[in-house]
Structure 1
Protein backbone atom coordinates (compact mmCIF):
# COMPACT_ATOMS: atom_id res chain seq x y z
CA UNK A 1 0.00 0.00 0.00
CA UNK A 2 1.46 3.34 -1.00
CA UNK A 3 1.53 6.53 1.10
CA UNK A 4 -1.30 8.21 -0.84
CA UNK A 5 -3.65 5.26 -0.32
CA UNK A 6 -2.67 5.11 3.35
CA UNK A 7 -3.37 8.84 3.78
CA UNK A 8 -6.75 8.56 2.05
CA UNK A 9 -7.73 5.63 4.26
CA UNK A 10 -6.62 7.56 7.34
CA UNK A 11 -8.67 10.62 6.37
CA UNK A 12 -11.64 8.39 5.53
CA UNK A 13 -11.40 6.75 8.97
CA UNK A 14 -11.19 10.15 10.68
CA UNK A 15 -14.22 11.41 8.74
CA UNK A 16 -16.27 8.37 9.72
CA UNK A 17 -15.20 8.70 13.35
CA UNK A 18 -15.83 12.44 13.70
CA UNK A 19 -18.87 12.87 11.46
CA UNK A 20 -20.62 9.91 13.09
CA UNK A 21 -20.30 11.66 16.49
CA UNK A 22 -22.40 14.52 15.13
CA UNK A 23 -24.98 12.13 13.73
CA UNK A 24 -25.27 10.38 17.09
CA UNK A 25 -26.73 13.65 18.39
CA UNK A 26 -29.64 12.92 16.06
CA UNK A 27 -30.42 9.80 18.10
CA UNK A 28 -28.72 7.35 15.75
CA UNK A 29 -26.61 4.73 17.47
CA UNK A 30 -22.90 4.45 16.74
CA UNK A 31 -23.25 1.71 14.12
CA UNK A 32 -26.06 3.52 12.29
CA UNK A 33 -24.07 6.76 12.32
CA UNK A 34 -20.89 5.10 11.06
CA UNK A 35 -22.81 3.26 8.37
CA UNK A 36 -24.49 6.42 7.15
CA UNK A 37 -21.17 8.30 6.96
CA UNK A 38 -19.58 5.37 5.14
CA UNK A 39 -22.39 5.35 2.60
CA UNK A 40 -22.28 9.15 2.33
CA UNK A 41 -18.55 9.05 1.53
CA UNK A 42 -18.88 6.13 -0.89
CA UNK A 43 -19.67 7.23 -4.42
CA UNK A 44 -21.25 3.92 -5.36
CA UNK A 45 -24.22 2.08 -3.83
CA UNK A 46 -23.19 -0.62 -1.36
CA UNK A 47 -24.32 -4.16 -0.59
CA UNK A 48 -24.61 -5.45 2.97
CA UNK A 49 -21.41 -7.43 2.42
CA UNK A 50 -19.55 -4.28 1.36
CA UNK A 51 -20.89 -2.43 4.42
CA UNK A 52 -19.78 -5.33 6.63
CA UNK A 53 -16.31 -5.32 5.10
CA UNK A 54 -15.97 -1.55 5.33
CA UNK A 55 -16.98 -1.25 8.98
CA UNK A 56 -15.80 -4.62 10.26
CA UNK A 57 -19.22 -5.40 11.73
CA UNK A 58 -21.52 -8.37 11.25
CA UNK A 59 -23.89 -8.63 8.32
CA UNK A 60 -26.77 -8.74 10.83
CA UNK A 61 -25.61 -5.43 12.36
CA UNK A 62 -25.42 -3.89 8.88
CA UNK A 63 -28.88 -5.17 7.99
CA UNK A 64 -30.39 -3.78 11.19
CA UNK A 65 -28.63 -0.41 10.82
CA UNK A 66 -29.61 -0.09 7.16
CA UNK A 67 -33.26 -0.84 8.01
CA UNK A 68 -33.20 1.96 10.60
CA UNK A 69 -31.63 4.36 8.10
CA UNK A 70 -34.26 3.35 5.53
CA UNK A 71 -37.03 3.94 8.10
CA UNK A 72 -35.62 7.41 8.79
CA UNK A 73 -35.50 8.08 5.04
CA UNK A 74 -31.74 8.76 5.14
CA UNK A 75 -30.73 6.05 2.67
CA UNK A 76 -32.49 4.37 -0.21
CA UNK A 77 -32.47 1.04 -2.02
CA UNK A 78 -31.28 1.45 -5.56
CA UNK A 79 -31.50 -0.71 -8.64
CA UNK A 80 -28.43 -1.56 -10.66
CA UNK A 81 -28.82 -3.70 -13.75
CA UNK A 82 -27.27 -7.12 -13.25
CA UNK A 83 -26.88 -6.77 -9.47
CA UNK A 84 -28.23 -9.77 -7.58
CA UNK A 85 -28.06 -8.24 -4.13
CA UNK A 86 -29.81 -5.24 -2.62
CA UNK A 87 -27.86 -2.02 -3.02
CA UNK A 88 -28.15 1.00 -0.76
CA UNK A 89 -26.92 4.56 -0.97
CA UNK A 90 -27.14 7.68 1.17
CA UNK A 91 -29.74 10.18 0.03
CA UNK A 92 -28.70 13.59 -1.22
CA UNK A 93 -29.54 16.84 0.58
CA UNK A 94 -27.92 15.74 3.82
CA UNK A 95 -28.99 18.73 5.94
CA UNK A 96 -32.60 18.62 4.78
CA UNK A 97 -32.96 14.87 5.35
CA UNK A 98 -31.52 14.96 8.85
CA UNK A 99 -33.44 18.03 9.93
CA UNK A 100 -36.76 16.68 8.66
CA UNK A 101 -36.17 13.33 10.31
CA UNK A 102 -35.02 14.89 13.56
CA UNK A 103 -37.82 17.47 13.71
CA UNK A 104 -40.49 14.88 12.92
CA UNK A 105 -39.16 12.55 15.63
CA UNK A 106 -39.22 15.41 18.14
CA UNK A 107 -42.76 16.38 17.16
CA UNK A 108 -43.99 12.80 17.52
CA UNK A 109 -42.33 12.43 20.93
CA UNK A 110 -43.64 15.78 22.14
CA UNK A 111 -47.17 14.92 21.06
CA UNK A 112 -47.00 11.66 23.03
CA UNK A 113 -45.62 13.42 26.10
CA UNK A 114 -48.25 16.16 26.00
CA UNK A 115 -51.01 13.57 25.72
CA UNK A 116 -49.59 11.63 28.67
CA UNK A 117 -49.25 14.75 30.81
CA UNK A 118 -52.77 15.88 29.98
CA UNK A 119 -54.06 12.44 31.01
CA UNK A 120 -52.24 12.75 34.34
CA UNK A 121 -53.66 16.25 34.82
CA UNK A 122 -57.20 14.99 34.12
CA UNK A 123 -56.76 12.15 36.62
CA UNK A 124 -55.42 14.57 39.23
CA UNK A 125 -58.32 16.99 38.71
CA UNK A 126 -60.83 14.16 39.20
CA UNK A 127 -59.52 13.31 42.65
CA UNK A 128 -61.36 14.65 45.69
CA UNK A 129 -58.30 16.08 47.38
CA UNK A 130 -56.80 18.24 44.67
CA UNK A 131 -53.12 18.79 45.05
CA UNK A 132 -52.64 22.38 43.82
CA UNK A 133 -48.84 22.25 43.77
CA UNK A 134 -48.80 19.05 41.69
CA UNK A 135 -51.38 20.51 39.32
CA UNK A 136 -49.21 23.60 38.84
CA UNK A 137 -46.16 21.43 38.10
CA UNK A 138 -48.08 19.39 35.53
CA UNK A 139 -49.33 22.60 33.87
CA UNK A 140 -45.76 23.89 33.80
CA UNK A 141 -44.52 20.64 32.22
CA UNK A 142 -47.25 20.77 29.56
CA UNK A 143 -46.40 24.42 28.83
CA UNK A 144 -42.73 23.45 28.44
CA UNK A 145 -43.59 20.66 26.00
CA UNK A 146 -45.93 22.91 24.01
CA UNK A 147 -43.18 25.54 23.76
CA UNK A 148 -40.80 22.93 22.38
CA UNK A 149 -43.51 21.76 20.00
CA UNK A 150 -43.98 25.34 18.74
CA UNK A 151 -40.24 25.68 18.09
CA UNK A 152 -40.05 22.41 16.18
CA UNK A 153 -43.19 23.22 14.18
CA UNK A 154 -41.60 26.53 13.16
CA UNK A 155 -38.44 24.70 12.10
CA UNK A 156 -40.57 22.19 10.20
CA UNK A 157 -42.35 24.97 8.29
CA UNK A 158 -39.02 26.60 7.46
CA UNK A 159 -37.72 23.41 5.82
CA UNK A 160 -40.76 23.03 3.53
Structure 2
Protein backbone atom coordinates (compact mmCIF):
# COMPACT_ATOMS: atom_id res chain seq x y z
CA UNK A 1 0.00 0.00 0.00
CA UNK A 2 1.44 3.35 -1.08
CA UNK A 3 1.45 6.49 1.00
CA UNK A 4 -1.46 7.98 -0.93
CA UNK A 5 -3.59 4.94 -0.10
CA UNK A 6 -2.42 5.02 3.53
CA UNK A 7 -3.38 8.69 3.76
CA UNK A 8 -6.77 7.95 2.20
CA UNK A 9 -7.31 5.20 4.80
CA UNK A 10 -6.40 7.62 7.63
CA UNK A 11 -8.83 10.16 6.18
CA UNK A 12 -11.64 7.58 6.18
CA UNK A 13 -10.84 6.60 9.78
CA UNK A 14 -10.90 10.25 10.87
CA UNK A 15 -14.29 10.82 9.22
CA UNK A 16 -15.60 7.62 10.84
CA UNK A 17 -14.35 8.83 14.23
CA UNK A 18 -16.14 12.16 13.74
CA UNK A 19 -19.31 10.17 12.93
CA UNK A 20 -18.83 8.11 16.10
CA UNK A 21 -18.31 11.27 18.17
CA UNK A 22 -21.42 12.86 16.70
CA UNK A 23 -23.43 9.79 17.73
CA UNK A 24 -22.53 10.65 21.34
CA UNK A 25 -24.58 13.83 20.84
CA UNK A 26 -27.53 11.93 19.35
CA UNK A 27 -26.65 12.67 15.73
CA UNK A 28 -26.95 9.80 13.22
CA UNK A 29 -23.60 8.49 11.96
CA UNK A 30 -24.47 9.43 8.36
CA UNK A 31 -24.86 13.07 9.42
CA UNK A 32 -21.57 12.89 11.35
CA UNK A 33 -19.84 11.32 8.36
CA UNK A 34 -21.16 14.13 6.16
CA UNK A 35 -19.93 16.76 8.65
CA UNK A 36 -16.46 15.19 8.60
CA UNK A 37 -16.43 14.96 4.82
CA UNK A 38 -17.34 18.61 4.29
CA UNK A 39 -14.98 19.67 7.10
CA UNK A 40 -11.99 17.96 5.52
CA UNK A 41 -12.93 19.15 2.05
CA UNK A 42 -12.08 22.67 3.37
CA UNK A 43 -14.41 24.21 0.78
CA UNK A 44 -18.17 24.27 0.27
CA UNK A 45 -19.60 21.20 -1.47
CA UNK A 46 -22.71 20.56 -3.59
CA UNK A 47 -25.14 17.73 -2.86
CA UNK A 48 -23.80 15.93 -5.93
CA UNK A 49 -20.22 16.16 -4.62
CA UNK A 50 -21.32 14.91 -1.19
CA UNK A 51 -23.29 12.05 -2.72
CA UNK A 52 -20.32 11.00 -4.84
CA UNK A 53 -17.89 11.25 -1.93
CA UNK A 54 -20.01 9.28 0.54
CA UNK A 55 -21.85 6.94 -1.81
CA UNK A 56 -25.23 7.78 -0.29
CA UNK A 57 -28.45 8.58 -2.09
CA UNK A 58 -29.19 12.20 -2.92
CA UNK A 59 -32.36 11.94 -0.80
CA UNK A 60 -30.43 10.82 2.28
CA UNK A 61 -27.81 13.46 1.58
CA UNK A 62 -30.51 16.18 1.49
CA UNK A 63 -31.87 14.92 4.81
CA UNK A 64 -28.39 14.91 6.36
CA UNK A 65 -27.67 18.45 5.12
CA UNK A 66 -31.01 19.61 6.51
CA UNK A 67 -30.17 18.04 9.87
CA UNK A 68 -26.77 19.75 9.90
CA UNK A 69 -28.45 23.06 9.05
CA UNK A 70 -31.09 22.62 11.77
CA UNK A 71 -28.28 22.11 14.27
CA UNK A 72 -26.53 25.26 12.99
CA UNK A 73 -23.62 23.16 11.75
CA UNK A 74 -23.95 23.73 7.99
CA UNK A 75 -24.34 26.92 6.03
CA UNK A 76 -25.61 27.33 2.48
CA UNK A 77 -23.35 29.31 0.17
CA UNK A 78 -24.23 30.97 -3.10
CA UNK A 79 -21.53 31.29 -5.70
CA UNK A 80 -21.89 33.47 -8.73
CA UNK A 81 -22.21 31.35 -11.85
CA UNK A 82 -22.85 28.14 -9.89
CA UNK A 83 -26.42 26.89 -10.22
CA UNK A 84 -26.30 24.39 -7.37
CA UNK A 85 -26.31 25.20 -3.67
CA UNK A 86 -23.06 24.58 -1.86
CA UNK A 87 -22.71 23.88 1.84
CA UNK A 88 -19.90 24.37 4.29
CA UNK A 89 -19.58 23.38 7.93
CA UNK A 90 -18.16 25.13 10.97
CA UNK A 91 -14.38 24.71 11.09
CA UNK A 92 -14.07 25.45 14.83
CA UNK A 93 -14.49 22.31 16.99
CA UNK A 94 -15.57 24.36 19.99
CA UNK A 95 -18.26 26.18 18.05
CA UNK A 96 -19.45 22.89 16.54
CA UNK A 97 -19.93 21.50 20.03
CA UNK A 98 -21.67 24.66 21.22
CA UNK A 99 -24.00 24.71 18.21
CA UNK A 100 -24.90 21.06 18.64
CA UNK A 101 -25.27 21.34 22.41
CA UNK A 102 -27.35 24.50 22.14
CA UNK A 103 -29.70 23.37 19.39
CA UNK A 104 -30.39 20.02 21.08
CA UNK A 105 -31.01 21.54 24.49
CA UNK A 106 -33.11 24.41 23.13
CA UNK A 107 -35.37 21.84 21.43
CA UNK A 108 -35.65 19.97 24.73
CA UNK A 109 -36.37 23.16 26.64
CA UNK A 110 -39.08 24.23 24.20
CA UNK A 111 -40.68 20.78 24.18
CA UNK A 112 -40.77 20.64 27.99
CA UNK A 113 -42.07 24.19 28.39
CA UNK A 114 -44.93 23.34 26.01
CA UNK A 115 -45.60 20.16 27.98
CA UNK A 116 -45.57 22.18 31.23
CA UNK A 117 -48.17 24.64 29.90
CA UNK A 118 -50.48 21.80 28.85
CA UNK A 119 -50.36 19.85 32.09
CA UNK A 120 -50.53 23.02 34.20
CA UNK A 121 -53.81 23.85 32.49
CA UNK A 122 -55.14 20.33 33.07
CA UNK A 123 -53.99 20.22 36.69
CA UNK A 124 -55.53 23.63 37.44
CA UNK A 125 -58.83 22.42 35.99
CA UNK A 126 -58.74 19.44 38.35
CA UNK A 127 -57.74 21.56 41.35
CA UNK A 128 -60.37 24.25 40.70
CA UNK A 129 -63.22 21.83 39.98
CA UNK A 130 -65.53 21.83 43.06
CA UNK A 131 -66.41 18.18 42.32
CA UNK A 132 -62.77 17.02 42.72
CA UNK A 133 -62.34 14.91 45.84
CA UNK A 134 -59.76 15.93 48.44
CA UNK A 135 -57.27 13.13 47.66
CA UNK A 136 -57.31 13.80 43.90
CA UNK A 137 -56.94 17.57 44.48
CA UNK A 138 -53.97 16.95 46.79
CA UNK A 139 -52.27 14.69 44.23
CA UNK A 140 -52.92 17.25 41.45
CA UNK A 141 -51.38 19.98 43.63
CA UNK A 142 -48.30 17.77 44.18
CA UNK A 143 -47.99 17.21 40.43
CA UNK A 144 -48.34 20.95 39.82
CA UNK A 145 -45.61 21.74 42.35
CA UNK A 146 -43.32 19.11 40.81
CA UNK A 147 -44.03 20.46 37.32
CA UNK A 148 -43.14 23.97 38.49
CA UNK A 149 -39.85 22.58 39.86
CA UNK A 150 -39.12 21.15 36.41
CA UNK A 151 -39.87 24.55 34.89
CA UNK A 152 -37.25 26.07 37.18
CA UNK A 153 -34.78 23.47 35.91
CA UNK A 154 -35.49 24.40 32.30
CA UNK A 155 -35.03 28.10 33.10
CA UNK A 156 -31.64 27.19 34.58
CA UNK A 157 -30.84 25.08 31.51
CA UNK A 158 -31.67 28.07 29.28
CA UNK A 159 -29.10 30.12 31.20
CA UNK A 160 -26.57 27.29 30.80
CA UNK A 161 -27.13 27.24 27.03
CA UNK A 162 -26.63 31.01 26.95
CA UNK A 163 -23.43 30.53 28.97
CA UNK A 164 -22.13 28.42 26.08
CA UNK A 165 -23.58 30.51 23.24
CA UNK A 166 -22.07 33.76 24.54
CA UNK A 167 -18.72 31.95 25.01
CA UNK A 168 -18.74 32.92 28.68
CA UNK A 169 -17.81 29.26 29.26
CA UNK A 170 -14.30 29.98 27.95
CA UNK A 171 -13.66 32.44 30.78
CA UNK A 172 -14.18 29.60 33.24
CA UNK A 173 -12.95 26.66 31.17
CA UNK A 174 -10.40 28.17 28.79
CA UNK A 175 -9.45 26.59 25.48
CA UNK A 176 -5.87 25.25 25.50
CA UNK A 177 -4.62 28.15 23.33
CA UNK A 178 -6.30 30.65 25.69
CA UNK A 179 -4.40 29.21 28.68
CA UNK A 180 -1.04 29.86 27.03
CA UNK A 181 -1.70 33.60 26.62
TM-score by length of 2: 0.72
Q: Does 1:71 align with 2:70?
A: yes
Q: Could you tell me how far 1:109 is from its partner in structure 2? A: 2.4
Give the match for residue 34 of structure 1: 33
Q: Does 1:51 align with 2:50?
A: yes
Name structure 2 gaps, 5 residues minimum. 127-131, 167-181
Give the match for residue 123 of structure 1: 122
Q: Could you tell me how far 1:30 is from its partner in structure 2? A: 2.1
Q: Could you tell me how far 1:148 is from its partner in structure 2? A: 4.3
Name structure 1 gaps, 5 residues minimum. none
- Matched residue pairs, number? 159
Larger of the two Rg values belongs to structure: 2
Deviation string for 1:45-96 (max 9, x for gaps)? Answer: 2121211121110111112211222233211222345434322211233322
Give the match for residue 13 of structure 1: 12
Give the match for residue 153 of structure 2: 147
TM-score by length of 1: 0.80
Higher relative contact order (CA 8 A, sep 6+): 1
Stretches of 4+ moved more than 4 A in 1? none
